[in-house]
Structure 1
Amino acid sequence: MDITHNTSDIDNQDLQVESIDDHLLGKHIALCVSGGIAAIETPKLARQLRRHGARVTAYTTPDALKFVGQAALEWGTGREVITHLSGMAEHICMDDLVLVAPATLNTINKVYAGIADNPVTTLVASALGNHTPLLIAPTMHESLYNNPFLRQNLARASECNNLTIIAPRIGEHKAKLPHLDTLVAASIRTLSTHPLRGKDILITAGPTPVKIDDVRRITNVFSGRLGTLIAQEAHYAGANVTLLLGKTGLRPPEYVPTIFHNDYDEYTRNVFDALAKGQDIGIFSAAVADYSPETVAQGKIPSGGAITSIPLVPTRKIINDVRERYPDLYMASFKYQIGVSKENLLAIAQQRVAHGSNLVVANRAEDMVGSHHAYIVGEEGVIATPQTKHEIARMLVDSIGERYEQHQ
């Protein structure tokens, strides 16, 4: 990874962070910290936001500094912490986004009452008046989270079109701070101006095993990692994502709505159930079984040589059925080959485009040693040549965004 300063005034090597991507490049984020034990996570949160390109400034309530040191926040953000207001008018919100995490009951209720008595509540008051995007992550004991006056205030969030409540994780009788990647994803998604913002996207990933008997399956080596990254990128873009994922032990981000399938039959049902609810775009990266056993045995076939051969029959091509039933769906599909030339691979991808896929991601096993080289192919030919799974995900989502409106 490359080292990025995020802003030109951070030259101290110890304060620099490794760049993950540029989703927040050039964005100024005010990280508002109130007084709860979860405040100890905020230096790490600040650095994670910076890894995506953001410039982060921390604002604290007086009680916040009982839980997290000012020096730790200075290190995490790479800049001075706003602990009090002065003649420099720090309370006037000039940021692109305000993130209040953790947000205590006291701070939240002050915000809703219009009280501005410290750097956090005053900055938030200015942000609401400026219509600056505001994210609030309630974090407290469960008894406080269930306080009726707090719940009434949280339910009023829809009254402000620039305010979003990020739900906590509930456990150990606490409303816990969401995972840091969830807070970062919410920040990226909120600031997105991507063409796919608001679009409904179905993404499939991972294997679709076929049954031999009630215990055994035939499957493949694919984990669903690439499809999960595509779902993450689409979520960042602001799309409403549904991820259908084969069970391999891979855990998708908690912010991506995911439906797991055990086998080919479940996958098929899930695809058409999701499409029936209405989708603008389908990205079919699942490694769908091409063959299944001619018959499926009931129970468990005895071991010790009872199986000597397994006759196979072709499965239905799900993407063909999808195209036939949903002719207006914008589709991206995947094609993986072994032992073919680049020219033949691209010819196969073009045939897939001719038969209904708007875009095809094509790759060969020979090009995936030490990298994940692929070709994104459309009607006009090769439109991108990503070299990693992350690049495939980002370039595919961007390519769909550039072309979707023309498709309508």
Structure 2
Amino acid sequence: MSVLSGKNILLGITAGIAAYKTANLVRLFIKAGANVKVVMTPASKDFITPLTLSTLSKNPVHSSFYNEEDENAVWNNHVELGLWADLFIIAPATANTLSKMANGICDNLLMATYLSAKCPVYFAPAMDLDMYKHESTIRSFKILKSYGNVMIPATSGELASGLVGEGRMAEPEDILSFIENDILEKLPLKGKKVLVTAGPTYEAIDPVRFVGNHSSGKMGFEIAKASAQLGAEVILVAGPTNEKAFHSFIKVINVTSAEEMYETAHQYFDEVDIAVLAAAVADYKPKNVSDIKIKKKEDTFSIELIKTKDILKSLGAIKKQQFLVGFALETNNEIENAKSKLKSKNLNLIVLNSLKDEGAGFGGSTNKVTFITDGDDIIQHDLKTKAEVANDILNQILKQIHA
């Protein structure tokens, strides 16, 4: 999965011959999983048609504040476009537009959107050799970089004038790669490893039956996804679940029993920086497991249960520099029980769920949690989707790590 997956990308196109390449650029962004909208300068329509770009992006293309040919036209809100975008890429960026960007000259929709944007801005220059080397253009580059804009360097090659040299816009594939790499390098968990456990465990009674619980694994999978999106290499140890992980940074290891999850978590714990144990591990398992299916003969049937190994406590006992997160699902004395678990298991953070809260707990797509830190802070959150809760957990981890 690309780091651009799910991102809203606004592509700004200016009047350079390289504009013809933007059709392929839109396709690459879409293939990477991004949502794409296009804003053009009026003159850029001489180089590529809005129809082509709207067809590829599956969104209307904007080039003016309103359509003069339509008396009922709705105003194109540059502020809304700027706020919608997670990333704003201006390609090709001509010398004319770069100068306007550097000096705040707002005479078209693209420039108004640029001046309203709150997201990261990338620009890919495209112009002739002498223009690219001109002091005024170099000044524009320096000013835009000082604003925090990111330049995608032009390459050397044959130019529209027939000259050969620097000024050729980077190829669409290289623009995509540049942006992905730039985002990855800036992600807060770049170079970190995260261990996540998820789902239930099944404890065998016989080859057919087991002791289990109603955990869907969704919370753990969302935490793994959120970790990967922040740049981490994730080891996801998953009990039996229907959830799937679609991210190249996530390695899924499927297990069934608490014993298997214990062994796998210990196998990888030494090499990780953060461990989030979100799995609903069985507290007990059958003492004796039948090799054959137990027949239904008696009116009553008893199973002797013994404790499973406490994965969270055992990791807490051997942790060094790892940041360790546990979960507590409580029905009474929630805060007191969670604090006790935090201390006894040597955690840095515990995520408390209460079954008294509607929408929290197993099975659903929402959760309502309270964070308790090893600094004795108590942070309560409203009911949110599990994806939002996962982001809150990762943000809390980063906050404590960098405190």
Q: State the TM-score bracket (shorter-chain normalisation).
A: 0.5 to 0.7
- Over 3 Å counting, the alpha-carbon distance change for 1:311 and 1:117 in structure 2 is farther
Instruction: Please report the TM-score for the alignment, with normalisation by the length of structure 2.
Output: 0.61
Equivalent pair of 2:90/2:123 in contact (CA under 8 Å): no
The letter for the 2-side match of 1:76 is: N
Residue 43 of structure 1 contacts residue 77 of structure 1 at CA under 8 Å; is this kept in 2? no
Distance 1:29 1:191 in 2: 22
Cα distance in 2 for partners of 1:85, 1:358 equals: 48
Q: Deviations over 1:35-65 (max 9, x none)?
A: 59x9398399443x68xxxxx6699xxxxx8
- 2:371 is aligned with what amino acid? I
SS at match of 2:264: helix
For residues 55 and 253 of structure 2, the distance between their equivalents in structure 1, rounded to whole angstroms, comes to 39
Alignment check: 8 A CA contact 2:196 2:220 kept: yes
Please point out which of 341, 349, 359 is paired with 1:359: 349
Q: Structure 1 residues 83 and 96 mapped into 2: Cα distance closer, same or farther (>3 Å)?
A: closer
Question: Is the 8 Å Cα contact of residues 211 and 292 (structure 1) preserved in structure 2?
Answer: yes
**Structure 2 counterpart of 1:372, one-letter code:** N
TM-score under structure 1 length normalisation = 0.61
Q: CA deviation at 1:88?
A: 4.0
| Counterparts of 2:230 and 2:58, CA distance in 1 | 30
Number of the residue aligned with 1:72: 55
Q: In the alignment, is the contact (CA less than 8 A) between 2:155 and 2:169 conserved in 1?
A: no
Give the Å deviation of 1:312.
0.8
The residue identity in structure 1 corresponding to 2:176 is L
Aligned residue for 1:204, secondary structure, equals strand
Measured at CA, do residues 246 and 112 of structure 1 come closer, stay the same or move farther in structure 2, by a change above 3 Å?
farther
Please give the alpha-carbon distance, in whole angstroms, between the structure 2 residues aligned to 1:58 and 1:249.
44
1:323–1:329 CA contact under 8 A, matched in 2: no
Matched ranges for 1:2-401 at <5 A = 39=27, 42=30, 45-47=33-35, 69-73=52-56, 76=59, 79-80=62-63, 88=96, 96=121, 114-115=156-157, 122-124=168-170, 134-136=175-177, 190=184, 192-194=186-188, 196-255=189-248, 256-276=250-270, 278-303=271-296, 305=298, 308-338=301-331, 340=332, 344-355=333-344, 356-369=346-359, 371-378=366-373, 379-388=375-384, 389-401=386-398
Which residue in the other structure is 2:107 paired with? none
Aligned to 2:111: none
Contact 1:335–1:349 (8 Å) recurs in 2: yes
> Conserved in 1, the CA contact under 8 Å of 2:54 and 2:61?
no
1:313 shift after superposition = 1.1
Pick closer, same or farther for the CA change 1:327–1:58 going to 2, 3 Å.
farther
1:69 alignment partner, SS class: helix
| Cα shift at 1:239 | 1.8
Count of residue pairs brought into register by the alignment:
303
Unaligned runs of 5+ in 2: 1-5, 14-20, 42-47, 64-88, 103-113, 115-119, 125-152, 161-166, 361-365
Residues 215-265 of structure 1 show CA distances to partners (whole Å, capped at 9, x for unaligned) of 322111011101111111111222222111112111122332211112222
Q: Helix, strand or coil for the counterpart of 2:238?
A: strand
User: Aligned with 2:59: secondary structure?
Assistant: helix
The one-letter code of the counterpart of 1:348 is N
| Amino acid in structure 2 at the alignment position of 1:326 | K
Displacement, 1:383?
2.4
Contact 1:210–1:263 under 8 Å retained in 2:
yes
RMSD: 4.5
**% same residue:** 21
Shift of 1:376: 0.8
Q: Which blocks of at least 5 consecutive residues in structure 1 are unaligned?
A: 1-22, 51-55, 60-64, 100-110, 129-133, 137-161, 166-186
